[in-house]
Amino acid sequence: MAYYLFLNMQREKRMTEDGSYTLFEPQLKVTYHSIHGAIRESRHVFLGAGLDYWLEKNGPTETLSILEMGFGTGLNALLTLIAATEKKLPVHYHALEPFPLDEEEWSALNYIDLLHRPECQTAFLKMHREESESGIALNPDFMLYRYKIPVQEFQSPEAFDLVYYDAFAPDVQPELWTTELFRKIYAMMADGGVLVTYCAKGAVRRSLSSIGFKVERIPGPPGKREMLRAVK
C-alpha cells in the first residue's frame, strides 16, 4: 500500500511471516503489506478475490484492463504478470503512484527469489526503472502504464474491468476513501467490473453501496477476518 501525499523519510525493509519483505513508512507509521505475509496477502486479496473471481464470472477476454491504486513495491503487478502469463491473458495494467520507490528500496525486495521466478527479473526492473505513462511491454501481452499523479488528477484512458484498491488505510489517509473518490472510480469501471480491497470498514462498505456497487464482505487474508469485494 503506497498511495500517499507526502514523503520525507527513507522507508525501512521488514520481513513478514511468509518470508517476503514489506516496507515500513516511518512518517505514517504503516507498512505497505501485511506483516502476516506480503505475498500471501497480495495473492489472497488481489489475485484470488479479484483476478480469479473476475475470470470465473466472465471467462476469457480480449484484453483485461486493471487499475491499481498504489503501485508501491510492484508486488501486485508482479503477481498479476505471472498469473496472466500462465493463463495467456492479455492485460493493460494502469497503476497510480505519485511517490515511486528509490532503486535502493525496491532492489532490496526478495519477491523474485521467493517466488522462484528468475525469468521475471527483467520485467520487475522495468516496472520500477522505466517511465511508463505511455506504456511499457513487460511481455508481448502485458502492458504497464504507471502514472506519477494523484488519483484526483487521473483521467481514465479506458474502462476498467478490475480495480486493486491498495491505498493506505482509512485511518491513515481518509481522503483516499471518500464517497466522492469512489464515485470517480465507479465511473471509470466497465459494467460488471470488480473492485477489491483489504479494507472491511463499515463506512467504506456503506460508501461503496451508496454509489451503486454490489458489495460483499468475504474472508480476508491471514491476520484479517474480512475484506471487501464490490461489483459494478
pLDDT tens profile 136-152: 999 999 999 999 998 99
Is residue 8 over pLDDT 90? no
CA 62, 65, 68: angle at the middle one, nearest 5?
160
What is the C-alpha to C-alpha distance for residues 163 and 66, in angstroms, rounded to an integer? 6
Is residue 220 over pLDDT 70? yes
Is residue 2 over pLDDT 80? no
- The label of the residue with cell 474491468 reads 161
Distance between start and end Cα atoms, the chain: 23
The structure's pTM equals 0.93
Average pLDDT, the chain: 92
Determine which of 31-35, 86-90, 188-192 has the lowest per-residue pLDDT on average. 31-35
Is residue 210 over pLDDT 90? yes
133 band by pLDDT with thresholds 50, 70 and 90: low
Structural domains of the chain sorted by starting position, each given as residue range(s) with its CATH number in brackets: 12-231 (3.40.50.150)
Give the residue ranges of DSSP H helices in 8-161: 38-42, 53-58, 75-87, 103-106, 111-115, 121-129
Q: Residue 96 has what pLDDT? A: 94
Strand ranges inside the chain, DSSP E: 12-15, 21-25, 30-31, 64-69, 91-96, 136-139, 142-147, 160-165, 189-197, 214-219, 226-231
Q: What is the mean pLDDT of residues 148-164?
A: 92
**How confident is the model over 27-85, as pLDDT tens digits?**
888 888 999 999 999 999 999 999 999 999 998 889 999 999 989 999 999 999 999 99
